[in-house]
Amino acid sequence: MTDDILYRRYLGGDEDSLSALMERHGDKLTLYLDGCLHDLHESEDLMIEVFAYLIAKQPRIRDGGFRAYLYRSARRPTASAPRCGNTTGRAAGLGSC
At 46-73, the pLDDT tens digits run 999 999 999 999 999 999 999 999 999 8
Confidence of residue 28 (pLDDT cuts 50, 70, 90): very high
CB 38 within 8 A of CB 80: no
Distances (CA, A) of 3 to 9, 61, 85: 10, 11, 30
Confidence of residue 19 (pLDDT cuts 50, 70, 90): very high
- Which structural domain, as residue segments, surrounds residue 28? 3-78
Asked whether residue 95 is assigned to any structural domain, the reply reads: no
Model-level pTM?
A: 0.77
Domain count, the chain: 1
In one-letter notation, the amino acid at residue 34 is D
Asked whether residue 44 is assigned to any structural domain, the reply reads: yes
CB 45 within 8 A of CB 54: no
Confidence of residue 36 (pLDDT cuts 50, 70, 90): confident
* Calpha distance 70→91 (Å, rounded): 16
pLDDT in tens, 76-96: 766 555 555 444 444 333 344
Which CATH number fits the domain that encloses residue 74? 1.10.1740
